Chain A
C-alpha cells in the first residue's frame, strides 16, 4: 500500500467507513453527505457529527413520545435508539483508531 498509515486512517474515516462499504445502497451518504464524496476531512467530520446529532435528536423525541404515550409504533423508538447507539459506537470506533494512529506516530523514534 502506497499511502502512509495516518492517511489510510483518515481515508477510512472521511470516505466510506468499513461498515458502510459493505452496504451497496449509497454507502457513504451518512458519513459524507453525498455520493461524490467529501471535499475535505473536516467537512466529512462535521457532516458525521451533524448526522450523529440528528440521530440523537430523533431518538430523544421518540423516547419522549414513548414515555407520554404519543408514539404510534413502539419499534420506531427502539430502532431509532439502536441506530443512535450504533452511530455513537461507529464514531467512537473511528476516533479510537485515529488516536491510536496518532499515538503510534508519536512513539516513532530515530
Chain B
C-alpha cells in the first residue's frame, strides 16, 4: 500500500504482507477451481498460477513485501485420454492442468496462515502505537 505515513511503518509493512498473501489466496482459489479444467490439445492447458514474492527496499528496517510476478505451470499439462469430453481431439485426448490438488491445499494453508500472521502483526503494532500515544496520560 502507498505509504502516506511513515511513522506507522510496522502497520504498512504488515499491510504489504497481507496484500501478497491475499493475492496468493486468489491465485490458489483459481487453481483449485480449475483443477479439473480440460482443454483441447490444440491449445495450452490451464496454467496454475504461483505468486512470486519480493522484498521491498525501504529505510533501515526494510519496506515490506510485494508481488514480483505470477509464475505459470507447464502449458503442456497432462495429456489424458478422455474421448467423451466435448473438447477431445480426433484421438480422444484432452489437456488437464499440470497441478496437484494436494499442493494447492498446502499453498492455501500457507496463504491463510501468512495472512493471519500479518494481521496479528498489524494488530500488535496498533496496540504499541496506542500505548505510545497514551504515555503519561491520566
The 8 Å CB contact of B8, one of A24, A76, A83, is A83
A residues less than 8 Å from B129 (CB atoms)? 19, 86
Binary interface encoding of chain A residues 27-66 relative to chain B, with 1 for a CB under 8 A from any of its CBs, else 0: 1011100000000000000000001001100100000000
Q: How many inter-chain contacts with C-beta < 8 Å in the A-B complex?
A: 79
The residue that A83 contacts in the complex, of B5, B19, B61, B137, with Cβ under 8 A, is B5
CB–CB A25/B60 < 8 A: yes
Q: What chain B residues lie within 8 Å of A20 (beta carbons)?
A: 7
B62 to chain A, nearest CB (A): 8
Tell me if B15 and A23 are in contact (CB < 8 A).
Answer: no
Interface of chain A, main secondary structure: helix
Chain B residue contacts of A58, Cβ below 8 A: 4
Q: Are A54 and B4 in contact (CB under 8 A)?
A: yes
A75 contacts chain B at the CB level, 8 A cutoff: yes
Question: Is A99 interfacial (CB-CB < 8 Å)?
Answer: no
State the B residues within 8 Å of A (CB): 1, 4-9, 11-12, 14-15, 18-19, 22, 58-61, 119, 122, 126, 129-130, 132-135, 137
